[in-house]
Amino acid sequence: MLYFFDSMGMLTTVGRKGRSLRAIVHGIADTAHPLLVQIIPTRRCNIDCGYCNEYDKVSPPVPTDTLRARIDKLAELGTAVVAFSGGEPMLHPDLDALIRHIRMRHMMAGLITNGYFLVPKRIQELNEAGLDFLQISIDNVEPDEVSKKSLRVLDKKLQNLSEYAAFDVNINSVLGGGIKNPEDARTINIRARELGFSTSIGIIHDGSGRLKPLGPLERSVFDDVSAAINGPWQIFKNLYSGITNFQTNLADGQANEWRCRAGARYLYNCEDELVHYCSLQRC
Ligand SMILES: C[S@@+](CC[C@H](N)C(=O)[O-])C[C@H]1O[C@@H](n2cnc3c(N)ncnc32)[C@H](O)[C@@H]1O
Ligand code: SF4
């Protein structure tokens, strides 16, 4: 019986990697479709991170039929990947049905969550719905007034994911934006790799999308964690998250010599159905 479930899990993983590879090849060969669309099922959030301007405490969930229609439109545009963000997307009562709808329309389904609701039953329901990948960004080891997306609070949820998730899991750690102890990013990255997840590192920006250059300690943690993400064997696990070159100039306060493709290959579809360049510049 165990062998049967192992085989099913392997088939699911192989199927997902195959679809992912097809999306990459098609994305390079044909540039006339969006690669990734983030869609907002609710602006409401259950917590309040000090650096975040993307949530409120009152918004109702976007009606499920409205979201289905938006997903259909994204399918017509040839979108490769649709990822739920928010607010906290796991507060939407019909999230699993919407994930099923994305998969039924032959797109990949992702979820960006604060991780608070990831008990074993919810993870198994997400498996059954056909979720392809999930990302949690963990800000610090101990909760404080800036953030409660903390390893201490979320470690049990990470263990649940490690045991039950049939989808890919990426754990992002962050620097900047008032996070007090840069060493926390290293601790979080080590724990995530220990549990078998892919990992990434990000830099927190201000409300206009700008980043402050990293200080010397932050910069050395950034280099160490980036090296671990791109280390031997990790490079296969971190196929997407290992693309950190674009952040190195930003970490030094320098511009990159290319233009962001937001608005073309990447879209941010807010709760009011407007399309924005990115989550922070919603004007
Ligand atoms: C707005 S949240 C919504 C989904 C979910 N509530 C979560 O926290 O993952 C999406 C992502 O944006 C990140 N984020 C929010 N504000 C940010 C900022 N000022 N700079 C960088 N990342 C930010 C969060 O850490 C999270 O990874
Ligand atoms: S980052 Fe996510 S969890 Fe934190 S306040 Fe914003 S929406 Fe909520």
Pocket of ligand 2 (CB under 6 A): 45, 47-49, 52, 54-55, 86-88, 114, 149
Q: Determine the 3-state secondary structure of 3 from DSSP.
A: helix
By percentage, how much of the chain surpasses pLDDT 90?
64
Report yes or no: 68 and 114 within 8 Å, Cβ to Cβ: no
Query: What pLDDT score does 138 carry?
Result: 97
Q: Report percent pLDDT > 70 for the chain.
A: 89
Check residue 187 and give its pLDDT.
Answer: 97
- Nearest ligand to the CA of 88 is 1
The predicted model gives 61-66 an average pLDDT of 98
Q: Spell out the residues 6+ positions from residue 34 whose beta carbon is closer than 8 angstroms to its own.
A: 74, 77, 78, 79, 80, 264, 265, 266, 267
| Domain positions in the chain | 13-277
In the CATH scheme, what is the code of domain 13-277? 3.20.20.70
Pick the residue whose CA is nearest to atom 26 on ligand 1.
Answer: 137
Residue type, 271: E
Q: Band the pLDDT of 1: cuts 50, 70, 90.
A: very low
pTM: 0.92
40, 42, 43, 47: residue to mutate for ligand 2 pocket, most atoms within 8 A of CB = 47
Pick the residue whose CA is nearest to atom 4 on ligand 2: 49
Distance 92 CA to ligand 2 centre (A): 15
- Whether residue 176 is preceded by a cis peptide bond, meaning omega within 30 degrees of 0, is no
Query: Given this model, what pLDDT does residue 241 score?
Result: 59
Distance (angstroms) between ligand 1 centre and the Cα of 29 equals 31
User: 235 pLDDT band (50/70/90 cuts)?
Assistant: low
Q: What is the pLDDT of residue 184?
A: 97
Taking the centre of ligand 2 as the mean of its atom positions, its distance from the CA of residue 236, in whole angstroms, is 29
| CA 200, 110, 194, 52 torsion-angle sign | positive
